[in-house]
Each structure stands twice: as structure tokens, then as C-alpha cells.
Homo-oligomer: A and B are copies of this chain.
Amino acid sequence: MSFSAEIIAVGTEILLGEITNTDAVTVARALSELGINAYYQTVVGDNPERLRACILAAKKRADIIITTGGLGPTFDDLTKQVAAEAFGKKLVLHEESLKKIEIYFERRGKKMTDNNRAQAYLPEGCTVLENDWGTAPGCAIEDNGKFLIMLPGPPRECKPMVKYRMLPYLQKLSDSRLVSHGIHIYGMGESEVESKIRSFAEEMQNPTLAPYAKDGEVLLRVTGKAKTEEEADAITRPVIERVEEILGDVVYGVDVPSLHFAAFEILREKKLTLATAESCTGGLCSKLMTDIPGASEVFRGGICAYTNEIKMNLLGIDASLLETHGAVSRECAEALAKAACEKFGTDAGIGVTGYADPSSGDEKNPGGTVYVAVNICGKCTSSKIYQPQSRELARSRAAQECFDILRREAEKI
């Protein structure tokens, strides 16, 4: 059985170019992983006639329609009404969803309006897709072998809804199981990764191996298809091993959420503690560490020293070092990393200093130059990055570089 699907995003703000349709990427990837072909994506505004036309056209040419957006409480949120009508269903009150919404407002001490109540009306006979990440529930309806799944529009709701609601729902329709693993790579570009694995990847049919470049990293997705999850998983394993052999230690993890998480995990396993001393990244490294639930097992804290005075007074950086080498220097980054260890009494310390802004910098260190250092159990390792495209990029690459050094050096302890 092979299904085709179509994604419809509902929202005038996408048509106006105010927001990027990232939900389509989330849904499209999930469909890809399931081996479901999507031949079209459509974006339509908050307009009932045009939305109806889109849904009816999609119903003709696809088996599965996924809509994102238009489930909220405001008058322009029309997806449920229009979709239900197109599938010949009425909207009825779903008591459980209403209760969830009531509790949501009660807990926040806010008043629930009639608009919010409207979110609990769902097509009769639908499968409710509970939304634990917002107020508007999703739902799935079926009509003569055609399926329509409605997901909320805000990406932070849509993402988990795709993973925990849409995927399991669609899995049930298929007689094969897909298992997918992500091989995470930092420190090698997409084309180099691709040319290294090309001869190996080209002959493969099942599992498949697909590269994605994102934010200075490369993700290789290995997807196996079989009758059971166990079998599907089993055929991916030799491929993962082979890729790790070919690429070596630029692979920082398999199925790990991020490079900083990989670093955190190694520190946790080895019972090593960490602190940060940041200048131009301004707290980004400590923010990333504390994104992780249970960060306190490893992370003690950090100092953001945005001026030379603070570097001297709070972190004890030598005035002579700053004078001789400048605040933007490898020496200063190393001194910061060591100071972090001392001030917070940790095994490992991160130090970052640089000119993040493209318009900043001097002759020796043009804008986009950042020095990073990691001090761990008395050994200090440093690196220099140059990302003159944007402030954001220079800062995020600097943080990635820190965590890459950290995971490599912690591994050796």
C-alpha cells in the first residue's frame, strides 16, 4: 500500500511573507520518513472559499491531507469548520478538550472567552489529537479511504504534534514500519560528507541515506523499512557503523539532539563539572547548557564579561594580558576558560572572546573573528573561527566550536 499526501498550510501571514512556512518542512520530513510521497504543498489564506477549494482539490489527488494552522481561537481560524464540511462532518463539542482548555486558563488565572471555548468543537467521529503544547487540539478525520489531519500552526506546537500525534496515527495506516536514525556531524561540510559516502550510499535502496545541512552541521538520516520495527532498526545498524568508520570523529553522535547535548552527556558520564566565561557570545554557551533538563548535574554557572573591567574585576584577567594581546585574542580566551574553572570550582571551563559583529573588529581580527578555549582538568585547548556573514552566525559557530572541543577533550579524560 502506497499513500500520497498533500500539505496545506492555512494562514494569511504566510501569504504576506510575514512568517516562513516551517511547519511544511516538519510535516514533509515526517512524511518522507514514512515513505509517503507528497506531490504538492499549498499555502492558502484565512479565507473559507479558497481553503475549501484547496481541500477539495487535494482530496481528489491525494490520499492523505495534512493541514497546519487555523485552529486557534480567533475569528479568522477556520480550518476545522471548512475541513469538516468538505468531509461531510458536523462540528460537535468535545468535552475532554473543553476541560483541558478550562484547566489551562484556570491555572494561569486568566479568563476564558467564548473564542477559546470554540477550540473544543471538533468534527464528529474524529480522532482527537491532544495538544499538550498549546490550547487548540488537532484531529484526524476519514472519509472513504481519504484522511485529513489537522495540526496547529505555531511551530512549537506543530513540531511535537507531528512527532507524537501525526506519526503514530499514520504508522497505523501503513503495513510496513520505518525506523530512522540521525548521524550528527560537526566540522565537515555537506559536499565533503557527500563525496565521502557517495559510492557507499548510491548502491543502497533500503535503508536509505540522506544528508541534510543545517546551521553549520550535517545530519545524515538513515531510514530502514521492514515489516517490524525491530527488523527495520536492524538493517540500519551496519550502515551507521560504516558511516562512522568512513567519517571518523567528525561524527559527534547518533540520535542526539545537539552538539552541546553530546558534550553534556560525556561530562555527565565522567562526572565532570563545567562553567563558562563569555564575552562576545554573551551567555549563549551557558544558555545552551541550561536548555538541557538536568543541566545542574554538570553545569555550575557562568560569567558574561562584556567589558574589560568586568573581565579584570570579576574574572581576574590580568590587565597586562589585555594590554599585550588585546581582549580579542587566543590568550584572553584561554585565560577566560581557566578563570571559569577557578571562579566556579569546576573541572572544565569555556572561554569565548571575539568580534561577533561584521561591522566591528580591527586589522588583525576583522569582524566575525572569535577565539574560543576549553580548559579541562588543567589542559587548555583553543581555536579560532571566522564567520563574517552575521553577528548571529559568528556567535552560534563560536558556541558550537566550544562544545565540539569540549566533547573531544572530555572523551580523553
- A residues neighboring B (CB under 8 Å): 12-22, 24-32, 38-45, 47, 50, 54, 57, 72-76, 107-108, 110-111, 113, 115-116, 132-134, 154, 156, 189-192, 194-195, 198, 210-215, 221, 276, 278, 280-287, 289-291, 293-296, 299-307, 310, 314, 343-344, 357, 359, 386, 388-393, 395
Q: Are A16 and B40 in contact (CB under 8 A)?
A: no
Chain B residues contacting A134 (CB-CB under 8 Å) are 389
Q: Are B283 and A284 in contact (CB under 8 A)?
A: yes
Chain B residues contacting A20 (CB-CB under 8 Å) are 20-22, 24-25
Chain B residues contacting A285 (CB-CB under 8 Å) are 283
A-B contact list, 18 entries, CB within 8 Å: A14-B24, A17-B25, A17-B27, A19-B212, A40-B42, A42-B42, A73-B191, A74-B191, A76-B210, A111-B192, A156-B215, A281-B290, A282-B283, A282-B291, A283-B284, A302-B303, A303-B314, A314-B343
Q: A54, A302, A314: which has the most chain B beta carbons within 10 Å?
A: A302
When C-beta atoms are compared, the residue in chain B nearest to A278 turns out to be: B283
Task: Kindly provide the distance from the CB of A158 to the nearest chain B CB, expressed in whole angstroms.
Answer: 13
Q: Are A45 and B50 in contact (CB under 8 A)?
A: no
Q: In whole angstroms, what is the CA distance A57 to B247 when docked?
A: 41
Chain B residues contacting A281 (CB-CB under 8 Å) are 287, 290
Task: Kindly provide the distance from the CB of A152 to the nearest chain B CB, expressed in whole angstroms.
Answer: 11
Q: Which of B45, B210, B276 contacts A12 (CB 8 A)?
A: B210
Q: Are A17 and B32 in contact (CB under 8 A)?
A: yes
Interchain residue pairs A-B with the least CB separation, the first 8? A282-B290, A17-B28, A283-B283, A17-B29, A283-B286, A41-B43, A283-B287, A302-B304
Known: A190-B72, A314-B301. A32 touches B16 (CB 8 A): yes
Chain B residues contacting A44 (CB-CB under 8 Å) are 39-40
The copy count of this chain in the complex is 2
Q: Are A310 and B314 in contact (CB under 8 A)?
A: no
Task: Kindly provide the distance from the CB of A244 to the nearest chain B CB, expressed in whole angstroms.
Answer: 20
Q: Are B296 and A344 in contact (CB under 8 A)?
A: no
Q: A38, A215, A303: which has the most chain B beta carbons within 10 Å?
A: A303
Q: Which of B75, B113, B133, B295 contacts A192 (CB 8 A)?
A: B113
Chain B residues contacting A192 (CB-CB under 8 Å) are 111, 113
Q: Are B293 and A282 in contact (CB under 8 A)?
A: no
Q: Are A290 and B280 in contact (CB under 8 A)?
A: yes
Known: A191-B116, A306-B299, A306-B301. A28 touches B15 (CB 8 A): yes
Q: Are B110 and A189 in contact (CB under 8 A)?
A: yes
Q: Are B133 and A390 in contact (CB under 8 A)?
A: yes
Q: Which of B110, B283, B359 contacts A290 (CB 8 A)?
A: B283
Q: Which of B24, B191, B391 contacts A113 (CB 8 A)?
A: B191
Q: Are B386 and A108 in contact (CB under 8 A)?
A: yes
Chain B residues contacting A290 (CB-CB under 8 Å) are 280-284, 304, 306, 395
Q: In whole angstroms, what is the CA distance A386 to B106 when docked?
A: 12
Known: A73-B190, A359-B293. A304 touches B306 (CB 8 A): no
Q: Are A132 and B389 in contact (CB under 8 A)?
A: yes
Chain B residues contacting A133 (CB-CB under 8 Å) are 389-390
Q: Are A210 and B28 in contact (CB under 8 A)?
A: no
Q: In whole angstroms, what is the CA distance A291 to B38 when docked?
A: 38
Task: Kindly provide the distance from the CB of A18 to the nearest chain B CB, expressed in whole angstroms.
Answer: 6
Chain B residues contacting A282 (CB-CB under 8 Å) are 283, 286-287, 289-291, 295, 299, 302
